[in-house]
Structure 1
Amino acid sequence: MLHALTNTELCTVKRKKSMNQAAGYRHASEGTDPVTGLLNRTALEHDLRLEIHRAVRYCFPLSVIIVSIDGYDEISRDYGSDIACNILRKTGQMLRNSVRKVDMVYRYSNTKFVLVLPHTDKDSSSITAERILGRIRRHIFSSGGEGHKISLHASAGIAEMKVDDDPATILFLAEKALRRTSTDGGRPVSSSSGTP
């Protein structure tokens, strides 16, 4: 037997749907970085936990790349915060456009971005990181009306998930690899192996 909804019931259903959508939008904005439009660190922690669970459950590799813009503070000081924010926005777009649809890109901190790459081992993520860093190096950023051309350099640290890793561990290992880029004779990409 079919039951027709009264106007009151229909309005209640629509209101609940609207409230759920508003809650979803509010949640989405809480997970988005206002400068780049990318997902933020809060979303990263949530999503990375889910991706690790999937990778363990279905036995596929998972890698994390942390990309750091070198010399960002000097750019901000020399050209101003508006230009520095524009560079962050453009860099975020370049990162998003440089990976597959299944990969996720997050703004991690002031000068760092995190890429989460499901179904990707350390060797493949190293190739991805090299390609991305080359793209950043080749791109010339404009300083707006002043006509200055700004080129960036970036570094990357890579970690591949081990079975017992949690989000904090894999991010720590990628950070450790990133720090090693400055001690590896200027090599822009470093991968972490082993335990924290």
Structure 2
Amino acid sequence: PNAYSQRHIMLLEQLASQIAMPVENSRLYAEAEEKARTDELTGLLNRRSLDEMIASEIGRHSRYGGVFSIIILDLDSFKAFNDNYGHLAGDKILRQVGSIMKSTIRGADQAFRYGGDEFAILLPQTTIEAASEVAGRVRQQIASEVKTGRIPITASLGLA
């Protein structure tokens, strides 16, 4: 007596089918949005995300005051390394640098790859002095952890 009739089951299946499509579309949209904001090779956020987050930080700074800093990082000798060892080896270095950046920064900070061998770190609520300390740690980690053979990979960093 408590069982669903065949008609009820058919209606529930139709309803489930109608609900499933928008849910799947939403999931696919979120996935596409994530891919549009992320560098596929390193897993870091990309240039588009960097531009959006800088604009957001500038807006926050204009409204509430406070500070934020940005570190720009460029790998030294990376072109020579790529020319000598090939792009697959270069990709491995880029992934390693991305991993170092993620593990070195605070949870509130954000790391980006915005060009071939160019990276950035956005540091909300961070003075230039504190950003300089972070830059030093990142530079030191890259110098000590990225092993390449004959062509050393180091990083040049700028702060603002």
Normalised by the length of structure 1, the TM-score is: 0.70
Deviation at 1:9, TM superposition (A): 4.4
Deviation at 1:150, TM superposition (A): 5.4
Q: Which aligned segments of 4 or more residues in structure 1 are displaced greater than 6 angstroms?
A: none
What is the RMSD computed on CA atoms of the aligned residues? 1.9
CA distance in 1, matches of 2:58, 2:127: 13
Q: Which residue of 2 aligns with 1:64?
A: 70
Q: Which residue of 1 aligns with 2:144?
A: 138
Q: Which residue of 2 aligns with 1:16?
A: 22
Match of 1:116 among 122, 143, 147: 122
Larger of the two Rg values belongs to structure: 2
SS in 2 for 1:91: helix
- Equivalent residues of 2:77, 2:152 under 8 A apart: no
Q: Which residue of 1 aligns with 2:157?
A: 156
Match of 1:40 among 40, 43, 46: 46
Structure 1 or 2: more helix by fraction: 2
CA distance in 2, matches of 1:53, 1:8: 47
Structure-to-structure mapping, 1:82-101, within 5 angstroms: 82-101=88-107
Match of 1:78 among 68, 73, 84: 84
What are structure 2's unaligned runs of at least 5 residues? Answer: 1-10
Count matched residues. 150
Normalised by the length of structure 2, the TM-score is: 0.84
SS in 2 for 1:37: coil
- Aligned-pair identity in percent equals 28
